[in-house]
Amino acid sequence: MATKKTHLTPSANGTQPPRHLETKLQAAADKTRKRAAVRGAKTPKATTPKQTTVTETAPAKATAKPKAKKLSALDAAAKVLAETGQAMTCAALIEAMAAKGYWTSPGGKTPSATLYSAILKELKTKGAKARFKKTDRGQFAHT
C-alpha cells in the first residue's frame, strides 16, 4: 500500500510546516489576490515562507552636535532672578524671560499664573533647598 507524500517548502528555521498550515497559507494568499483584484492593483504571487536576510545598516553620523536644551519656565525665572538680584512679580518675570530670549509662552492664556503656581510648588516640595524665596505678596527673589 503506497501513500503519496507531498513535499512542502522548508520554512526559515529549516522545518516543514504541517499540512493544515499549508492550506491556511494558500487560502490567505488567495484572499489577498482577490482583494487586490477588486482594488485594481496587480495581483501578488502566492506567498510561501521565505528565509529572512539580515542587511547591514550604515553607521550613525558622528558629526551630529547635541542640541542645546531649552530652559523651562522655572529655570528661566531662576536665571533672571539671579541676574537681576532683586525681587520680581511673576508677570515681570515672564516679560523679562521673553525679552532676554530664555523662555516664551507656548500660547497659554495665563503664563504668569502658571509660573506663580510652579514657584509655590517648588517652595513647598524643596523647602530650604528651593531656588526661590517669597519676599512679599506676589514677589519672589533668588536665594
User: What are the residue boundaries of the structural domains of the chain, listed by start?
Assistant: 17-49, 73-142
Decide: 76 and 128 in contact? Cβ < 8 Å: no
CA 88, 93, 95, 101 torsion-angle sign: positive
pLDDT at 1 over 60: no
The mean of the pLDDT values for the chain is 81
pLDDT tens, residue by residue, 40-98: 655 556 566 666 666 666 665 666 667 778 899 999 999 999 999 999 999 999 999 99
Query: For the sheet containing 139-142, what is the strand order?
Result: 88-89, 139-142, 132-136
Sequence-separated contacts (24+) of 68-72 with Cβ below 8 Å: 70/103, 71/102, 71/103, 72/103
Of the listed ranges 19-23, 44-48, 87-91, 110-114, the least confidently predicted one is: 44-48
Stated pTM of the model = 0.54
Residue 24 pLDDT: 77
Residue 128 has pLDDT above 70, yes or no: yes
| pLDDT score recorded for residue 64 | 61
Of 31-40, 91-100, 110-119, the range with the lowest mean pLDDT is 31-40
* Residue from 123, 4, 142, 11 nearest 81 by CA: 142
Angle at 48 between CA 44 and CA 49, to 5 degrees: 130
